[in-house]
Structure 1
Amino acid sequence: MTNSLSTRGASTLWIMLLTIASTVTTLAFACATPFPALSALAALHMRRGDGIGLAVAAWVASQAVGFGLLGYPHDPSTLGWGAGLGLAAVASALVAHDVADRLAGRGFAIRLAAAYAAGFLAFKGVIAVFALKLGGLGISLSPTLMAEQFARNGAILVMLLLLYRGLVAIGVPGAPQARWKAA
């Protein structure tokens, strides 16, 4: 029971810490929460359920920032985009974990890069579906914007990884993760 409680505590701690870190980036980049970066990090350092929990927690925090601090309007389009971002965040987490699982036994950098790329594509795919209905497909899939977002999320992923590893190095217990199966 104690091990289960300490495992749950470590999971909750990391979900909270990474949600706070993503909220800081959300504020810094005017509500551009780094969902693909969070998904890739979670895919290699957390259990699948905790990765989904992180995606949802970061989404809730981003919505609180957008609607509470940045004054987003409460119109159907904005609410629709909020729902789309939530679904995209969860899709990114699921796909990143699937890719990381498939590459179990490979090197960390390969799994991280593949999970990141797959999570980014899943995120943008869901956004594209919502853009078909809500408008903005051209800007959502603009090569220039996608390259900028991919690079920004990649840089944030590196910063989050350094934060994670730094905190573990000073004694913060690592997030519990699933046992990797050999590929």
Structure 2
Amino acid sequence: MTTDLHARQADLLWILLFTIASTLTTLIFACATPFPALAALAAVHLDRRDGVLLMVAAWAVSQAVGFCVLGYPWDAATALTGVAIGTAAVAGAIVSSLVDNRVPARSTVARLAIAYVAAFAVFKLAILLWAPVIGHADVALSLPILQRQFVRYAAILAGFYALYRLLTAAGVPAPAAAPQPVTA
């Protein structure tokens, strides 16, 4: 029982740490919360339920930062766009977790890369499905913007993973679903 409690505490700590890290990127890039990067991290290091929880937490904080700090307009169209982004983030987390569970990659970096590509594709597909309702699909899904976002979020993923490795090396307990080092 104590082990389960400690594992749950470690999982919740990482949800908090990843949410804080994504909030900082939201502030730095002014509204570009890296949901696909977070979804990849969640797929590899958290169970699916906690991955969804991470997406919801990061989305809620992102919305709060957007409306309260970055000056998003308080109107229905902006709120609906937020809902679209939230559902896209959750969809990305779910699909990247499913992909991670089915792809036989052994290395954590390969797993992160595969989960990231899946999360990015699903996130953007979900936004495309919302486009008739929220508009602006031509801007959000133009090739130059997609390329820029793909590279930016991949770089953020690399930074988040480096932070994860640094913190676990410093003694922060890894999430329960994190791959355990193989000992000989």
Amino acid at match of 1:10: A
Residues 39 and 119 in structure 1, CA contact (< 8 A), matched pair in contact too: yes
Q: Which residue of 1 aligns with 2:139?
A: 139
Q: Distance in 1 between matches of 2:134 and 2:96?
A: 26
Residues 25 and 32 in structure 2, CA contact (< 8 A), matched pair in contact too: yes
Q: Distance in 2 between matches of 1:95 and 1:178?
A: 18
Q: Does 1:2 align with 2:6?
A: no
Q: Which residue of 1 aligns with 2:66?
A: 66
Displacement of 1:179 after TM fit? 7.9
C-alpha deviations, 1:130-166, integer Å up to 9, x for none? 2222211111210000000000000000000000011
Q: Which residue of 1 aligns with 2:110?
A: 110
Q: Per the alignment, in what secondary structure is the counterpart of residue 146 of structure 1?
A: helix
Q: 1:85 to 1:117 in 2, by over 3 A?
A: same
Q: 1:57 to 1:107 in 2, by over 3 A?
A: same
Query: What is the TM-score of this pair, normalised by structure 2?
Result: 0.94
Seq. identity, %: 51
> Size of the alignment, in residue pairs?
180
Displacement of 1:73 after TM fit? 1.2
Q: Which residue of 2 aligns with 1:121?
A: 121
Residues 131 and 140 in structure 1, CA contact (< 8 A), matched pair in contact too: no
After superposing the two structures, state which structure 1 stretch, 130-139 or 102-111, moved more.
Answer: 102-111
Q: Which residue of 1 aligns with 2:35?
A: 35
Q: Distance in 1 between matches of 2:41 and 2:53?
A: 13
Structure 1, unaligned runs of 5 or more: none
Displacement of 1:104 after TM fit? 3.8
Q: 1:72 to 1:124 in 2, by over 3 A?
A: same
Cα RMSD over matched residues?
Answer: 1.5
Q: Which residue of 1 aligns with 2:13?
A: 13
Q: Which residue of 1 aligns with 2:89?
A: 89
Q: Distance in 1 between matches of 2:63 and 2:17?
A: 17
Q: Does 1:80 align with 2:80?
A: yes
Q: Which residue of 2 aligns with 1:163?
A: 163
Q: 1:178 to 1:29 in 2, by over 3 A?
A: closer
Residues 18 and 54 in structure 1, CA contact (< 8 A), matched pair in contact too: yes
Residues 45 and 179 in structure 2, CA contact (< 8 A), matched pair in contact too: no
Q: Which residue of 2 aligns with 1:56?
A: 56
Q: Distance in 1 between matches of 2:3 and 2:176?
A: 11
Q: Distance in 2 between matches of 1:143 and 1:172?
A: 39
C-alpha deviations, 1:66-116, integer Å up to 9, x for none? 011112112111010010011011001001101110114533332221110
Q: Distance in 2 between matches of 1:49 and 1:130?
A: 24
Structure 2, unaligned runs of 5 or more: none
Residues 100 and 114 in structure 2, CA contact (< 8 A), matched pair in contact too: yes
